Amino acid sequence: MQFLKLPRLLMPHMRRIHLHSQPLPSESTYRIGGIDDAVALIHRMVDMHPLPSIVEFTKILGMIVKMKYYATAINLYTLMEYKGVVPFTVTFNILINCFCHMGRMDFAFSVMGKIIKWGCQPNVVTFTTLMKGLCVNDKMLDALHIYNEMVARRILFDDVLYGTLINGLCKSKMGNTRAAIQLLQKMEGQLVKPNLVMYNTIVHCLCKDGHINEARVLCSKMIVQGIFPDIFTFSSLIYGLCRAGQRKEVRSLLNGYCLNNRVDEARELFNLMIERGEQHDIIIYNILMNGYCLNNKVGEAKKLFHRMIERGEQPDIITYTILMHGYCLIDRVDEARKLFHGMIETGLVPDVWSYNILIKGYCKIERVDEAMNVLEHMFLTNLVPNIITYNSLVDGLCKSGGISDACKLVDEMHYCGQPPPDVTTYNILLESLCRIEHVDKAIAFFKHLIFERSFAPNVWSYNILISGCCKNRRLDEAMNLFNQMCFKNLVPDIVTYNILLDALCNGQQLDKAIALLKYQIVDQGISPNLRTYNILINGLHKSGRPKTARKISQYLFIRGYHPDVQTYLINELCKGYH
């Protein structure tokens, strides 16, 4: 792995900068140790007579950008221009890159005007930089427009431009991986050929989205073309196989785990890699171990853990956290704790994340006192808990019946605020109030929060209260809350509608439920989920209307919504949840 880690060690500040063109009287080489050195150097250079060449200035600006000091780079450029340094295209490209990273696409575009003003020509790099900026700032349509603009200006595309575009397509909110694949296919007969970066980009996206089979097809294609998978390709595939079949919403409902049998395929791939002597590293071990943990095979994960140590790989903090999480998922928190101490013994310093896993674990098995002890331990080591730490504790306190302690903790957060409570903190309390105490108390507390603590409720907050009202058969109040949330421009989601549908079905108002489904859910473009299906069909069957149930099934089916065997199974598992 030395090979891969090397570039990371070669940080910009380790480089030496040579001012061959205009040496200073005393020395011709500067050591740039950090951002301060770079800034100081530019300040000295702008006052030299004659001025050093623009190439030297641009080199240093480039280093500053690599250190991610975008605003600094821009300020220094302004100083340079003021002192009479004449920029060229490369300098402008750096500026555009800075503005893109700062999310200021308006300024990035204004640099284009500057380029023309200074008599320079934008080149393929200029456009690639702009395109990347538009992609990451979620303006994919404008990015495609850049592409057309380049065609009009007859600027030749190169592999980096295509790589940028492919990545943009894959990651855009439209999730257009298919378009990216099409673009790749179109390139095959062209001058610029698809390369490893482009394939890896698409394979990674396909795997993340769970389209593991398509990713494999693409891998075969790249091999046929003589492009061989590297460590990134393998890690994407292994990650994809570990997560295959795991639906995010279900995973969260089932407290993080959901079974699939493709982890074994992931392991086969891993073994294949090792047999072939491919490069592999700690990250691949971590991905696979996490796959085992999420699929209820902590034992396998632990075996892998020992194996990696035998092979001379040093587990890192993430390795330990993954294993700890695995044990917490099956409620073996003491095992997680042992690992935690083992980690400290090897000289690793636990971070907030690893503490949070332990705290969450103790809360889940209702040993909140020990969770609080862990919090104390965090304070002792001068680690600052984050909002997840506190929210886990608040939830734990609520679930073990200590709602008043939970309120106390939230008050502390509110008054001494490091960190202050967020909307999730309050939602946890509201949910608990609805469940344990009374919905009236929850609503009163809700109002208090809005007026006294300028609480900004979200859709989830309303869902909690609406559900609370419905469970107490107070449909009118539920509808009032529903209207209130719409009035606040909060858009009800499928969870909101499922709550209402459930209430209508329970209140024998099935025709209203059907109208809600047709005119407020489907017509508004909201996708019904499995739960929606189940609520309605069950409701209709219970009311002795099997014909209507079939009609509704058909209605949903022809619109592309249909449950399969697995979804029914999941529905059964998730009963009682919305």
Least separation in angstroms between CB 255 and DNA: 13
Give the residue with the Cβ less far from DNA, 127 or 426: 127
For DNA, the binding residue among 77, 144, 167, 540 (CB under 7 A) is: 167
- Of 156, 159, 127, nearest in space to 143 by CA: 127
Judged by CB under 7 A, the chain residues 252 through 281 that form the site for DNA are: 281
For DNA, the binding residue among 38, 76, 231, 301 (CB under 7 A) is: 231
CA distance 251 to 248: 5
Q: Residue 160, interface with DNA (CB under 7 A)?
A: yes
Give the residue with the Cβ less far from DNA, 6 or 558: 6
CB within 8 A of 464, min separation 6: which ones?
Answer: 427, 430, 431, 434, 442
CA distance 147 to 312: 48
- The tokens describing 162, both together, are 């295509």
User: How many Cβ atoms are within 10 Å of 351's Cβ, its own excluded?
Assistant: 12
| Alpha helices (H) along 365-458 | 368-380, 387-399, 403-416, 423-436, 439-452
Identity at 136, one-letter amino acid code: V
For DNA, the binding residue among 322, 475, 510, 513 (CB under 7 A) is: 322
Region from 85-93, 334-342, 393-401, 410-418 binding DNA, contact rule CB under 7 A = 85-93
Size of the site for DNA (CB under 7 A): 62
Q: Residue 177, interface with DNA (CB under 7 A)?
A: no
Give the residue with the Cβ less far from DNA, 184 or 500: 184
Q: What are the angstrom distances between the C-alpha of 59 and each of 42, 124, 133, 187?
A: 11, 19, 21, 34
User: CA geometry: angle at 11 spanning 6 and 12, to 5°?
Assistant: 140
Least separation in angstroms between CB 397 and DNA: 23
Q: Residue 209, interface with DNA (CB under 7 A)?
A: no
Region from 108-116, 146-154, 200-208, 424-432 binding DNA, contact rule CB under 7 A = 200-208
Q: Residue 316, interface with DNA (CB under 7 A)?
A: yes
Q: Residue 362, interface with DNA (CB under 7 A)?
A: no
Region from 259-267, 348-356, 386-394, 417-425 binding DNA, contact rule CB under 7 A = 348-356
User: How many Cβ atoms are within 10 Å of 507's Cβ, its own excluded?
Assistant: 13
At CB < 8 A and 24+ separation, what contacts does 316-319 make? 316/282, 316/286, 316/348, 317/343, 317/348, 317/349, 317/350, 317/351, 317/354, 318/286, 319/282, 319/285, 319/286, 319/289
Q: Residue 363, interface with DNA (CB under 7 A)?
A: no
Q: Residue 321, interface with DNA (CB under 7 A)?
A: yes
Q: Residue 159, interface with DNA (CB under 7 A)?
A: yes
Q: Residue 239, interface with DNA (CB under 7 A)?
A: yes
For DNA, the binding residue among 55, 116, 274, 450 (CB under 7 A) is: 55
Region from 176-184, 232-240, 266-274, 362-370 binding DNA, contact rule CB under 7 A = 232-240
Judged by CB under 7 A, the chain residues 419 through 438 that form the site for DNA are: none
- Of 159, 162, 158, nearest in space to 143 by CA: 162
Are 410 and 453 a contacting pair, CB within 8 Å? no
Judged by CB under 7 A, the chain residues 439 through 478 that form the site for DNA are: none
For DNA, the binding residue among 195, 472, 538, 567 (CB under 7 A) is: 195
Q: Residue 318, interface with DNA (CB under 7 A)?
A: yes
Judged by CB under 7 A, the chain residues 116 through 135 that form the site for DNA are: 123-126, 128-129, 132
CA distance 502 to 71: 53
* Inter-axis angle of helices 298-310 and 282-294, nearest 10: 160
Three-state DSSP class for residue 29? strand
Q: How many CA atoms lie within 13 A of 15 on its CB side?
A: 17
Three-state DSSP class for residue 16? strand
Region from 22-30, 269-277, 283-291, 530-538 binding DNA, contact rule CB under 7 A = 283-291
Give the residue with the Cβ less far from DNA, 124 or 407: 124
Q: Where are the beta strands (DSSP E) in 73-145?
A: none
Give the residue with the Cβ less far from DNA, 42 or 433: 42
* Inter-axis angle of helices 530-542 and 494-506, nearest 10: 10
Burial class from Cβ neighbours inside 10 Å (0-12, 13-18, 19+) for residue 483 reads: exposed
Q: Residue 162, interface with DNA (CB under 7 A)?
A: yes
CA distance 445 to 407: 11
Region from 269-277, 315-323, 371-379, 513-521 binding DNA, contact rule CB under 7 A = 315-323
Give the residue with the Cβ less far from DNA, 159 or 493: 159
Q: Residue 389, interface with DNA (CB under 7 A)?
A: no
Give the residue with the Cβ less far from DNA, 123 or 472: 123
CA distance 59 to 73: 11
Q: Residue 532, interface with DNA (CB under 7 A)?
A: no
Q: Residue 67, interface with DNA (CB under 7 A)?
A: no
Q: Residue 351, interface with DNA (CB under 7 A)?
A: yes
Give the residue with the Cβ less far from DNA, 56 or 395: 56
Q: Residue 89, interface with DNA (CB under 7 A)?
A: yes
Least separation in angstroms between CB 195 and DNA: 5
DSSP state of 437: S
Judged by CB under 7 A, the chain residues 90 through 119 that form the site for DNA are: 90, 93-94, 97
- For binding to DNA (CB under 7 A), which residues are involved? 4, 7-8, 15, 55, 58-59, 62-63, 65-66, 89-90, 93-94, 97, 123-126, 128-129, 132, 158-164, 167, 195-198, 200-201, 204, 208, 230-232, 235-236, 239, 281-284, 286-287, 290, 316-319, 321-322, 325, 351, 353-354
